A and B are shown apart, each in its own frame.
Chain A
Amino acid sequence: MKRTVGEMLVRSGIRLPLFLWTLAVLYPIFWMFLGAFKTNAEIYANPWGFPEQFNFDNFVTAWTDYNIDTSVFNSLIVTAVGAILCLVLAIPTAYALERIRFKGSQLLFTLYISAMMIPMVLGWIPLFFLLAQFNMLDNIFGLAIVYAISQLPFTIFVLTSFMGTIPKSLEESAAIDGMSPYGVLWKIVTPLTMSGIITVTIMNAIQFWNEYFMALIFLQSSENYTLALAIDFISNEAQYTNAWGVLFASLVFAIVPVIILYSIFQRRITKGMTEGAIKG
């Protein structure tokens, strides 16, 4: 009997920190949602409590007066174009590196993989002038290209390991039936790798949607701002305008798509990220 009491004590002793950390994670996020429904007066009077009534004014103001509509649109474009371009570039290379024997294959793979560990901050200065030369500075498509290439090594890495798990026999029999290697890549390998493609694309999309620093460097005018930049701008201004409610509303715009993706693809995202970290 004594032992079970002791065990129960140990258990609740361990549950307490877990519970506290849950609170530490969820409360700020929960509170951010509440803040988005409060008036400024309420935020000052009672910053950490419930709003008296839920009103959507902050969302409307953020959307119409603070350019959140444009920046949500820009972020969507950058995310979609970046994710698609990254796939278009990564799938053929991943296939060639995984399946075709050629001289330098290992070297090329190592080159791509080591790029995952190099701090790109050094490259951002020349990239700034390169984009200026191409007339792609302050341009969301220029940013999308930069994003796509920045995730290229990781994407190639994930896709090669997924392609490694497909049996070769399917490709071989398709080739014997007279299918060209382009056909094999497009009609056999791509559908079979779909699970990996989905995983890596979700992760890239979240990355691009969230990204802040490259957007800060490569975008300049407010009509081209992505959501992260627009929010940062509102946050810096809030010190003077005190538009906290609007700030919270725009944070909600930024986080809701991520929450939705996470709740649908939770397993894929966690699996993809841990495997990326282990092998990267």
Chain B
Amino acid sequence: MVQSKKQKYLFLAFCLIPTFIMFSIFTLYPLFSGLYYSFFEWSGSSQTREFVGFDNYTRLFNDDIIPATIWHDYFLVITKVIGIMIMALFIAVALTQLKIKEAPFYRIVFFFPNIMSVVVIGILWTFIYNPNLGLVNSGLEAVGLENWTRPWLGSETWALPSLVLPSIWAGIGLFMLLLMGGIANISKSNYEAARIDGANEWQQFWHVTLPLIWPQIKISILYIVITTLNGSFIIVQVMTGGGPNNSTHVMGSYLYQQAFNQYNFGYGATIGVMILVISLITVILLQFLLRREKVEY
């Protein structure tokens, strides 16, 4: 392009600087200043902000609820990864390999919960779990399992596992599509070669499909882990608010409670730092664990 250096830099500044300023104010500054807040005791409303050094971190390590919130987050991570991957894989294989006529219909339906609001999903499922009117308990009664009915979200033991199902329900569609994309890229000749070697369908799945869509599987697992660690608190907040008796608090919902209900903003920021550190470590470890030679046939 014919233009002077000065013009070029002016145009570059026009393109980049306003956006970067906004990004700095509303993303970079809050993240760094969150780190900074974690060294203060601060109730927010009054302007008395007291530097307390590492006190908040000491408190973090002595807080009995913290290990529970971390465990709850990982419980959701693990159950979601297993549940979503098995179901998404099954559906993806069924819809691509078995030439089902109504496959597009299934694809459209299964994906839809992915774009529903967490509020809608949470409220729907709260009602499904409702002890008196809900579908789960009525269903159990209808098949004669009255003993199994319980106030699902009101029970300290069952509330957290009950959150897994809505999360899987809402998550499958995206990963089904990701895996279907991977399967569609596998060349037919691979399956023909396997068939000539006498591999049955199960062996074909195990030795051809699975290794060749490993990149998609890896991305899906990473994506589920990241979005769960960074966002599990939303469904918790809608469905249980962390209760009963803290039995469903995850790191993010506990941060919300500490900062915005109890006005311990400094301590809330400390929990935020912990979330950041834990999710970064998890992602790095996971990338290392899922590393595997790229397979090509």
Indicate whether A and B interact.
yes
Contacts A118-B31, A228-B119 given; indicate if A182 touches B25 (C-beta within 8 A).
no
A interface secondary structure, majority: helix
Our pick among A25, A126, A247 for the contact of B123 (Cβ within 8 Å) is: A247
A residues sitting closer than 8 Å to B (CB atoms) are: 11, 14-15, 17-18, 21-22, 24-26, 28-29, 32, 43-44, 47-48, 89-90, 92-93, 95-96, 100, 102, 108, 112, 115, 117-130, 145-146, 149-150, 152, 171-172, 175-176, 181-182, 185, 206, 209-213, 216-217, 228, 231-232, 235, 244, 247, 251, 254-255, 258-259, 262, 266, 269-270, 273-274, 277-278, 280
Say yes or no: A25 contacts B37, CB within 8 Å: no
Say yes or no: B219 contacts A277, CB within 8 Å: yes
Say yes or no: B15 contacts A235, CB within 8 Å: no
> In the complex, what residues of A have CB within 8 A of residue B223's CB?
277, 280
Residue of A nearest to B177 (CB): A274
CA distance A6 to B50 in the complex (A): 74
Say yes or no: B119 contacts A232, CB within 8 Å: yes
Query: Any chain A CB within 8 A of the CB of B289?
Result: no
Query: Any chain A CB within 8 A of the CB of B143?
Result: no
B interface secondary structure, majority: helix
Say yes or no: A25 contacts B110, CB within 8 Å: yes
Residue of B119, B177, B178, B181 ringed by the most chain A CB atoms within 10 A: B119
Our pick among A95, A130, A181, A270 for the contact of B1 (Cβ within 8 Å) is: A181
> In the complex, what residues of B have CB within 8 A of residue A29's CB?
112, 124
> In the complex, what residues of B have CB within 8 A of residue A254's CB?
117, 119-120
CA distance A125 to B95 in the complex (A): 45
Measured CB to CB, the closest approach of chain B to A156, in angstroms, equals 8
Say yes or no: A277 contacts B14, CB within 8 Å: no
* Interface 9-residue window, one of B76-84, B204-212, B273-281: B273-281
> In the complex, what residues of B have CB within 8 A of residue A44's CB?
133
Say yes or no: B283 contacts A117, CB within 8 Å: yes
Q: How large is the interface on B (under 10, 10 to 19, 20 to 34, 35 or more residues)?
A: 35 or more
CA distance A255 to B120 in the complex (A): 8
Measured CB to CB, the closest approach of chain B to A23, in angstroms, equals 10
Measured CB to CB, the closest approach of chain A to B24, in angstroms, equals 10
> In the complex, what residues of B have CB within 8 A of residue A127's CB?
26, 30
Query: Any chain A CB within 8 A of the CB of B67?
Result: no
> In the complex, what residues of B have CB within 8 A of residue A32's CB?
120, 124
CA distance A193 to B42 in the complex (A): 47
Query: Any chain A CB within 8 A of the CB of B189?
Result: no
Our pick among B114, B115, B125, B275 for the contact of A122 (Cβ within 8 Å) is: B275
Q: List 8 A-B contacts (CB under 8 A).
A: A32-B124, A100-B8, A115-B23, A128-B260, A130-B25, A231-B119, A231-B123, A266-B108
Interface residues of B in 1-54 (CB under 8 A from A): 1-3, 7-8, 11-12, 14-16, 18-20, 22-23, 25-27, 29-31, 33-35, 37, 44
Say yes or no: A89 contacts B19, CB within 8 Å: yes
Contacts A125-B259, A130-B30 given; indicate if A47 touches B269 (C-beta within 8 A).
no
Query: Any chain A CB within 8 A of the CB of B174?
Result: yes
Mark interface residues in B98-142 (1 if CB within 8 Å of A CB, else 0). 101000001111111111111110011111100001110010000
Query: Any chain A CB within 8 A of the CB of B226?
Result: yes
* Interface 9-residue window, one of B56-64, B156-164, B231-239: B231-239
CA distance A121 to B11 in the complex (A): 34
Say yes or no: B119 contacts A210, CB within 8 Å: yes
Our pick among B26, B116, B275 for the contact of A121 (Cβ within 8 Å) is: B275
Measured CB to CB, the closest approach of chain A to B86, in angstroms, equals 11
